[in-house]
Structure 1
Amino acid sequence: MQEYAEYADLWRQAGRPPAEGEPDPDPVTGAEEAVRRLRTLTHTRPDVVYLDTSDEYLLRFLRARKMRVSAAFELLTGCTLYRRDNPLLFGSFNAHSPPVRAALRDGFPGVLEQRDGRGRTVLLVFAAGWDPDRYPLTAIYRAILLTLDRLIEDVENQISGFVMVVDFSQFSLRQSKSVSPKMLRLMVNGLQDCYPARFGGVHFVSQPWYVEAMLSVIRPFLKEKVKDKIYTHGNNPLYVRQIYTHGNNLSALYHHVSRRILPAELGGDGPAHDTQRWADLMIRGPS
């Protein structure tokens, strides 16, 4: 019941209907006032240049923080400063950069066509497909951010959020040595504090011991609330509520993401994952 109440409240604030068969929530009551208050707060930080204060843009941050104005302002400011302070990430920020294009073509990330049972968009990463000699981890991160930028244009994604599944099958120790702790920290800081997206969970599958070691590096930088969204399942499960590591136990993954919508590579009922569908959309644009 609590989960439905939260879901209905988010749809109410967005002015969108709940799923078929669910009772109608109350009409929209506070979005306009929340936007006004958030825009007013931007005037309290003359040291920060907010590049976009349109209603549509500000609502992304409000929805990411369940319409809490002060939390949305903190997120908006964090996002603005993060982009300002990391020009190497956000300069020439488009899918036509050769390293980013290569990462997208290799499926970093993929996006399932079907949403999960909670209406969340599912992102897939098959880590073994990365060739560090062709492009760095930075290119993968930029491809993920560009993907989120595209997806977050959809109000339903702003409200229902995302789930990410990362499969480490065949991911080698050599590949892991190309992952720098500095870059991992930059990614963690960006996604947890500086991006208007709601992540309902990050699931790691078939992770070897050296991936567990990488997780131990980033764990100190995770906020408690984010730790509550990280789960690990396997012979020696680490349970940190919304980041999950399932080891080879795919049945544990299916408790969170329906087997019905997963590709064959993850034991799902769907066909083999098509890495080019999303890459084409990002590189060529929607038809």
Structure 2
Amino acid sequence: MNEYAEYDWKLHQMQNERLCEVARKRLTDGDRQRALNGLRDAVDKSLNLALRDKSRCQDDNFLRRFLYARKHDVQQSFELLVSYHQYRREHPELWASADGGVLRALADGLPGVLAQRDRRGRCVLLMFASNWIPHACPLLSVFRALLLTIERTLDDVQNQANGYVIIVDWTEFTFKQSCSLQAKVLKMMIDCLQDCMPVRFKSIHFIGQPWYVETALAVIKPYLKAKTRERIMLHGNNLSTLHDALPLDILPAELGGEGPSYNSELWLQDFCRGENINPAPITTSTPAIPIENDPPSAKLDKAYKQKDNPNFSFNGSEKSAKSELLRDKD
């Protein structure tokens, strides 16, 4: 993982962002309007089956997503628009209305949205990985929650223009949880977010990542574009480097910021209002603690299911769990 750790990411990131900012300033309103007209004409003339339903393409704000994502290059914006619609046709279930799994993911901060932007006007998304309970909220539901959150926040032109920053907090993320990271879903996420969504991820920050997360990152690395790899920063337990990239006053207490602890309920309610959903109360189920006359195998099975219980110490391996459960065996 040396290419992540040794990369002078901050200098390169600042240089790239200055160039992008200069490029945006050079675009006049007339340039943007001509690009919008060109994209609209390309859609109207297209016979691509992915664009059979062109109703949404009549919305200028929707088309601008693709122009900002490709820096107002009409041809590239049109290709992204086609890829987006093609992916939606192939995976309609991803864009279905939010169900209980999606609401559970949002309630657990998977993802969350900070109320304040960073100094460059970018929207900051949070992912609290240790809150994920695979048997209660499948990885696909987490992906759908992220996808629908991006769709909702892209209604804001400022997010289209300035892009997003993602912070993934892996603190206390267990090895058992990592075993539920399905390769098929991870590949689906990469294909969608990297090649089909009109979104610009300006930087991706990992904090508190254990070795098995770095191993998983090494596995998916070949599927990431060079630009995406350059924007991933592994901070480990050193929050000072995160604070160099993002101001303390917008970060919650969990990330060493000056703000209060993150309240996932705020974004959940905002999301549900936008989607016209009346969410039922989301409760966290706590499995029963095994009784003394349970056989050892039953104790182990129940322990895996209650790894989210703060009173249970999993310690990241099956061996330690077995030792903890069986040391008082009669």
Q: TM-score, normalised by structure 1?
A: 0.84
Aligned to 2:165, the other structure's residue is in SS state strand
**Match of 1:38?**
39
Shift of 1:255: 1.5
Distance in 2 (CA, whole Å) between partners of 1:198 and 1:266 is 23
Matched, 1:282 2:257: no
Q: How do 1:1-287 residues align onto structure 2 when only pairs under 5 Å count?
A: 3-4=17-18, 6-7=20-21, 9-10=23-24, 13=27, 27-42=28-43, 43-49=45-51, 50-51=53-54, 52-54=56-58, 55-90=60-95, 93-95=96-98, 97-227=99-229, 241-285=230-274
TM-aligned CA deviation for residue 112 of structure 1: 0.7
C-alpha RMSD of the superposition: 1.9
CA distance in 2, matches of 1:275, 1:47: 39
SS in 2 for 1:147: helix
Q: Deviations over 1:154-181 (max 9, x none)?
A: 1111111110000000001111111111
Q: Which runs of 5+ in 1 are unaligned?
A: 14-26, 228-240
* Residue identity opposite 1:66 in structure 2: K
Contact 1:176–1:211 (8 Å) recurs in 2: yes
Q: Which has the higher helix share?
A: 2
Q: Is the 8 A contact 1:181 1:217 kept in 2?
A: no
Superposition deviation, residue 2 in structure 1: 6.9
> Is contact 2:61–2:155 with CA below 8 Å preserved after alignment?
no
Q: Determine helix, strand or coil for the equivalent of 1:273.
A: coil
User: 2:4: which partner in 1?
Assistant: none
Please state whether the residue corresponding to 1:58 is helix, strand or coil.
Answer: helix
**Contact kept? 1:10, 1:63, Cα under 8 Å:** no
Please identify the structure whose Cα radius of gyration is greater: 2
- How many angstroms does 1:32 deviate by? 2.1
Shift in CA distance, 211/57, structure 1 to aligned 2, threshold 3 Å: same
Give the drift of 1:9.
Answer: 4.4
Contact 1:110 1:275 (8 Å CA) reproduced: yes
Q: Note the residue ranges of structure 2 that are not aligned, 5 or more in a row.
A: 1-14, 277-330
**Which amino acid in structure 1 is aligned with residue 158 of structure 2?**
E
**Closer, same or farther: CA 37–135 of 1 in aligned 2, 3 Å:** same
4+ runs deviating over 4 angstroms = none
Cα deviations by residue, 1:204-260 (Å, 9 ceiling, x for unpaired): 001001101111121111122222xxxxxxxxxxxxx20111111111111211122
Q: Is the 8 A contact 2:42 2:78 kept in 1?
A: yes
Distance 2:275 2:144 in 1: 19
The CA deviation at 1:130 is 0.6
Q: CA deviation at 1:12?
A: 6.7
List per-residue Cα deviations over 1:56-90 (Å, max 9, x = no partner).
Answer: 21111001111111211121111111111112322
- Deviations, residues 96-140 of structure 1 (Å, cap 9, x unaligned): x11111111111111111111111010111100010110101101
141-150 or 47-56: bigger deviation: 47-56
Offset at residue 286 of structure 1 (A): 8.8
| CA distance in structure 2 between the partners assigned to 1:77 and 1:179 by the alignment | 29
Q: Aligned in 2, Cα 1:250/1:34: closer, same or farther, shift over 3 Å?
A: same
Sequence identity, in percent? 43
**Distance in 2 between residues matched to 1:59 and 1:124, nearest whole Å:** 25
Residue 212 of structure 1 aligns with an amino acid whose one-letter code is: E
CA contact (8 A) 1:259 1:268 kept: yes
Secondary structure of 2:87 counterpart: helix
